[in-house]
A and B are shown apart, each in its own frame.
Chain A
Amino acid sequence: MDADQGGTVHVEEIFNALQVAVVDVLARMAMTEAVFVHREKLPRFRLDQEAGGMVRLTGSQEGMIGITSPLGVVREIVSRIVSLPADQLTGEDLMDGIAELANMIGGGTKSNAGLTNVKVSTPMAMVGKELLAEWKTDRHTERFVFQVDDGVLYVLAAL
């Protein structure tokens, strides 16, 4: 591997790569369109009736990339991916589905941004009822809001 090659990528370029990855993952795996709506800064976030998935980045770029969405939207997206009716999906299916989405979005961001010396962790998923989730990071969290079908998908990045 080339030394330090991935260290010079500007955070804004990674954010762009992230947005491209979100649209690409939803289009290919779920055959649906994710439309970017807006972005905002976020000090922390709360999962309530929502599911989330995240991966950690280590190496020349440290940070976290995650997604959260209301359970109904997650159910719809996972249903599209596995081609099964939404009402047949179990809680475990949804957890795995959103973890895998986070994994693919994290991996896609790494590829799109050319972050050669970055390792993407295996994904983790969580479902919250009043679960307060805090990013263990001193970096700002940026939240990107996407419209997917009739629902909203939040994509979070702390870089």
Chain B
Amino acid sequence: MKLLTIDDSRTIRRVISGIGAMLGYEVLEAENGEAGLKVLEQFAHEVGLVLLDWNMPGMIGLDVLKAIKADRRWQHIPVMMVTTEGEKDYIVKSIQAGACHYQTKPFTQEEMATRIMEAMGMGGV
């Protein structure tokens, strides 16, 4: 099972890849929404979770989320928003659009690892 991080920051992609690897997942990376959807075209059956940034050049995270949830091929894949936006309004919009988890930046390794485990259905709070 693979994870997919879509974030324009390579720093954040690396952090998420490191945490994913520690948990035993291979992590695919995309630097924008369009590239992320292309990765899904190729790996839809293997991706178990998408970790999605909100503020990106090009397609913003919310539009990427909507695009994922609108396509039958991968609308079943859970999406976690990973963003500096901590406001209720953003969280509500994400949940309404189909995100299953919401993680604000900054995060500790433990917070992100725990959140990934939860999103992958491995235990509750």
Listed in ascending order, the chain A residues whose CB lies under 8 Å from chain B are 1, 24-25, 28-29, 31, 78, 81-84, 92-93, 96-97, 99-100, 103-104, 106-108, 110-111, 116, 120, 122
Contact = CB atoms under 8 A, between A and B. Distances in A.
Nearest to A26: B106
Interface string B68-85: 000000000000000111
A78 B10 CA distance: 11
A99 B9 contact: yes
B84 A104 contact: yes
Contacts of A78: 11
Secondary structure class of chain B's binding surface, majority of residues: loop
A60 to B, nearest CB: 13
B15 A111 contact: no
B34 interface: no
4 nearest A-B residue pairs (beta carbon): A107-B84, A28-B106, A111-B86, A82-B14
Nearest to B18: A83
28 contacts: A28-B107, A29-B15, A29-B105, A29-B107, A29-B108, A31-B108, A81-B15, A82-B11, A82-B15, A83-B15, A83-B18, A92-B10, A96-B9, A96-B11, A99-B9, A100-B12, A103-B9, A107-B83, A107-B86, A110-B84, A111-B84, A111-B85, A111-B87, A111-B104, A116-B87, A116-B89, A120-B55, A122-B55
